[in-house]
């Protein structure tokens, strides 16, 4: 038995990824105290699972299939910027997502509930759609004022829209150069 660090995500459409990458280039400066997400690793996370025993992967895929079978493809718009837990004291810097249909939030909630039945820990907070761009390098460190000014300058930047037609179960492998991702399964929404 082997543990696989895993998460459920949506891959970005090419134009959304390209525009997000351009935003990252404008935001990033050397020694700014932020661990920026590499452009190749940009994705929309729905649920971080942590270490999953490889024998549990089929059950996780079945849960995702079951949830996806109740949802049709839906549209998301990306743009603007923000920070968690707040813009005043951000530890995570993100691009915003407009989930006009509410489908993304519903899917995330259903995944939380269904995966809890398999023993996965439920998130204590409600899901807030966002595209993580970077994290402060230490839990005690906050983004500096220069980073926050650059982030504020992007608050009206639109990154584009996309039709979401599938979810993916992704394995994350950590090494000295950072995480690399491998898609374990792609699960289509009901069409």
How do the domains of the chain map onto residue ranges? Answer: 3-188
- Choice between 85 and 98, residue whose per-residue pLDDT is larger: 98
- Average of pLDDT values for 91-100? 94
Q: For 44, list phi and psi in degrees, rounded to 5.
A: -105, 110
- Choice between 89 and 63, residue whose per-residue pLDDT is larger: 63
Q: What is the pLDDT of residues 111-128, one digit of tens each?
A: 999 999 999 999 988 899
> So what's the pLDDT on residue 137?
77
Q: In what order do the strands lie in the sheet with 178-188?
A: 44-53, 3-10, 166-175, 178-188
Helices 103-116, 57-68: crossing angle, 10 deg rounding: 140
Q: Could you give the C-alpha distances from 35 to 62, 63, 87, 101, 133, in angstroms and in order? A: 34, 32, 17, 32, 9
**Residue 52's pLDDT band (cuts 50, 70, 90):** very high
> So what's the pLDDT on residue 140?
52
Let me know if domain 3-188 sits in CATH 3.90.1140.10: yes
Specify the pTM: 0.92
> Residue 104: CB partners within 8 Å, gap ≥ 6?
46, 74, 76, 97, 127, 129, 164
> So what's the pLDDT on residue 175?
84
Tracing tokens 């150069």 back to the chain, one arrives at 177
- Average of pLDDT values for 134-162? 85
């Amino acid at each position: 038995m082997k543990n696989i660090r895993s998460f459920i995500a949506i891959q970005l459409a090419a134009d959304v990824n390209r525009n997000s990458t351009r935003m990252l280039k404008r935001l990033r400066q050397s020694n700014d105290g932020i661990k920026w997400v590499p452009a190749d690793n940009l994705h929309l996370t729905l649920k971080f699972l942590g270490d999953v025993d490889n024998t549990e992967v089929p059950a996780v895929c079945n849960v995702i299939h079951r949830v996806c079978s109740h949802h049709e493809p839906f549209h998301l718009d990306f743009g603007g910027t923000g920070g968690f837990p707040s813009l005043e004291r951000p530890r995570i810097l993100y691009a915003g997502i407009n989930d006009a249909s509410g489908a993304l939030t519903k899917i995330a909630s259903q995944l939380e509930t269904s995966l809890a039945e398999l023993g996965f820990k439920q998130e204590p907070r409600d899901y807030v759609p966002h595209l993580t761009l970077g994290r402060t390098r230490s839990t005690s460190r906050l983004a500096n004022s220069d980073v926050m000014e650059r982030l504020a300058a992007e608050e009206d930047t639109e990154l584009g829209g996309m039709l979401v037609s599938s979810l993916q179960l992704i394995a994350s492998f950590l090494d000295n150069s950072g995480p690399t991702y491998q898609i374990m399964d792609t699960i289509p929404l009901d069409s």
